[in-house]
Amino acid sequence: MTELSSDDPFVTAFNNGALFLYPTEAVYGIGCDPDNETAVQALLARKQRPVEKGLILIAKTYSQLLPYVNDDAIPMDRRTQIFSSWPGPNTWLLPKSASAPDWITGGSDLIAVRVTAHPVVQSLCERVNKPLVSTSANVTGLEAARTLTQAQQQLGEDLLCIEGALGNAANPSSIRHGLTGQLIRAS
């Protein structure tokens, strides 16, 4: 297990419940610690997003997602398609673990997860040794922010800003049902 650096300002802010804006594969995201209910509720309030819609967790490695996913419930015949799509802009709805918080799953039996290839996000996940909440940096119903300025205009200039370039994806990640392979949202 990676030792968390106590002198890393991002790690300190993350552990203290900070919300942060960061570049992803296609758009800016807003994130926080998925295990901090207060931070997640603050994020949902900024986005004006109902908790029932659930949120995506984004990680550097699948092993970072294991506390949130019921790996044993993923059918063998689905595993190749899921795992060969990572790292990349592919989100999968997988069976949630017993400990996955409802403020992330929206009360669903499934949890939305992605293993990213984006170097900035990989670095953030490595620094905190866990996944991040990942949702587009916009007020629900408005266009997703493609610049840090757009994200700040919609969600506030008081948020922690992580520097970096967007990835090369034209659209936010695709979302597929992990048990059926059904496409929920095209990228």
Q: Which domains does the chain have, with CATH numbers?
A: 9-185 (3.90.870.10)
Per-residue model confidence as pLDDT tens digits over 60-77: 999 999 999 999 999 999
3-state secondary structure the chain: CCCCCCCCHHHHHHHCCCCEEEECCCCEEEECCCCCHHHHHHHHHHHCCCHHHCCEEEECCHHHHCCCECHHHCCHHHHHHHHHCCCCCEEEEEEECCCCCHHHHCCCCEEEEEECCCHHHHHHHHHHCCCEEEEECCCCCCCCCCCHHHHHHHHCCCCEECCCCCCCCCCCCEEEECCCCCEEECC
Res 6: pLDDT = 62
Per-residue model confidence as pLDDT tens digits over 14-54: 999 999 999 999 999 999 999 999 999 999 999 999 999 99
Model confidence, pTM: 0.92
Question: Which band of pLDDT confidence, cut at 50, 70 and 90, is reported for residue 2?
Answer: very low
